[in-house]
Structure formats: C-alpha cells, structure tokens
Structure 1
Amino acid sequence: MKRLITLITVAALMLGGVVYAGNGVDLNQSPEVTATQQGTIHQPKEQSRQPLNYVNQPPVIPHSVDGYQVTKNINRCLQCHGTQSYLTTGAPRVSPTHFTDRDGLVSSTVSPRRYFCLQCHVVQTDAKPVVENTFKPANGFGK
C-alpha cells in the first residue's frame, strides 16, 4: 500500500511538472522572481517602511525584488538582510524568529521554514486592489 501511494505521488508530481512547463514556465527560475512586466506597477527603489496592521504581520518589502534568486542554495535577500551583512548594508536584520525551527530550537542560520522570504513578505506597490478590500487594522496599528 505504501509503495502504491509513493508511486501515485511521484506520477502526480511528474504530471504537474509537465503541465507547469507546458504553460511556458521556466522551471529553472526561482518561484520568488516576479513575472510582472516592466513598467506596469510602480516600485520605487526606496520607500519608507509601512506601519504594520496586526500583530506578527510580515513587513512589506519597500523595494523591487525583480531578478532576485531564492533557491535552496542561495537567498538573495540574505545578502543584505543577513546577520553577517545588515550592519554594512543598512538593511533591517532578519527577525530573530526566523532562526527558530519547528521544534523550537534556535540555530545560527535561518530556519528552512523561514528561508523562502516571499512566501510571507510581499513587495509594496501602488497597484490597485484586484478585489475590494474592507480590512481594518487592529486598534493601535496601521495609519
């Protein structure tokens, strides 16, 4: 039974990869690299940091990340925000929460579950919402 489940899972993954590649997606490109056409959304190089809207909200990114590579072997974000470089780059340091693994153990390197930055952090833009947003910040947060 275990072997059958493994076989089905592998087949589904392979089929998914074929469909994904068949849609003109470059599987060698990091999923964190944005596919926005140049000039369609304004992303100034430097913006002021935005206030948070709720407790533990991941901060938005105040600069473009076009062309950034984030893979299991390299993380472009850590070149500026990592503990070894943030003092010289002036970028905010990666939060201490990013060094705790799922078992609560603290490491000297970023935890694998916090390594792919753009799963939580989004680029700040002046794009209009796709759908109406009625979200209201928690008391004491936001503007």
Structure 2
Amino acid sequence: MKSNVLKKRLSLWAMLLSLAIAGAAYATSNGVDLSVSPEVSGTAEGQVRMPKEQDRMALNYVNQPPMIPHSVDGYQVTKNTNRCLQCHGVQSYRATNSPRISPTHFMDSDGKVLGEVAPRRYFCLQCHVPQADAAPIVGNSFTPAPGFGQ
C-alpha cells in the first residue's frame, strides 16, 4: 500500500518538475529573460522601502481590494491572532480612525453571515497588499477602468 502512495507522489513531483522546466524553456524561447531583477529602491537589493504612512491610493477597477497605506513590517497574522483587526475590527475602527473591515468579510462561502471574520477572509495579506511607488517588475499595458485610478 505504501509503495503505491510513494509511486503516486514521485509521479506527481516528476510531472510538476517537467511542467516547470517546460515553462522556463517556453518563456526563454519566446524572448522572456527569467534573470531580470526588479529595479527598486531600498536598503538591500530586492527590497522596497515602505513608508510608515501615506494617503490611500485610488482603486483601479470595481471590487479591487484596497491597498494598505502603511507599513505592515512585523504584523502577525496567524490562525490565533490577526494584527490588522486591532485597528480595523468592528469594535476598534472608530477609536483608531481606520476603515472598518467590510461586511463581506463576515460571510462564508455559502453567503451565511457569521459572528466573526470568515476563515477565507481572515488572512488579510492574501488580497490586501502594501502600496509602494515602485517600478513594475514586469512591464504591462494595464490601464484603470474608466473613472478609476484618479
């Protein structure tokens, strides 16, 4: 029994490795330089200096998760604690003058309203990212939706 499980796992890893190699070969053959490092400012290569606090940036499209206008260095978000909710939680947002967490964050995947933040919305940094005025790592031609991004 263990032998079959081991064979399946090895097959899966071999397939994933093959896909990664094929993807890199395809990108390289189509002129994509995989060794490009971003041009960023900061103290160490590859790190962007995050401002402690700044104005909120405009959204670029409907339902875009707002970006975080402050540093999150040292913030702890684990299954037992969420530093973001100390300021943005339902009981604390008024005292800290912070935006309140959206009511949608209290709904489970079936639309049922919960008494606390839904597990799928608990890890804030999976959708909300710190904003930085940094050069894009990969160039793109994205333009904000009409009426957005101003």
Provide TM-score, normalisation by structure 1: 0.72
Unpaired runs of at least 5, structure 2? 13-41
Q: Identity percentage over the alignment? A: 66
Match of 1:27 in 2: none
Question: Paired residue for 2:139, among 129, 132, 140?
Answer: 132
Where in structure 1 do 4 or more consecutive aligned residues deviate above 3 Å?
none
CA–CA separation in structure 1 for the residues paired with 2:144 and 2:74:
32
Q: 1:107-126 maps to which residues of 2 (within 5 A)?
A: 107-126=114-133
1:57 aligned to 55, 64, 67, which one?
64
Match of 1:20 in 2: none
Structure 1 residue runs of 5 or longer lacking an equivalent are 13-37
Q: Equivalent of 1:69, from 72, 76, 86?
A: 76
Q: Which has the larger radius of gyration?
A: 2
- For residue 86 of structure 2, the aligned residue among 72, 79, 99 is 79
Which digits, 9 at most, give the CA deviation of each residue in 1:80-115, with x for residues without a partner? 000010010111000111011001001121100000
Provide the C-alpha distance between the structure 1 equivalents of 2:114 and 2:97, rounded to a whole number of angstroms.
Answer: 23
TM-score between the two structures when normalised by the length of structure 2: 0.69
Is the CA contact 1:86–1:92 (under 8 Å) kept in the aligned structure 2? Answer: yes
Say if 2:109 is the partner of 1:102. yes
The separation in 2 between residues aligned to 1:42 and 1:136, in whole angstroms, is 25
Aligned length: 113
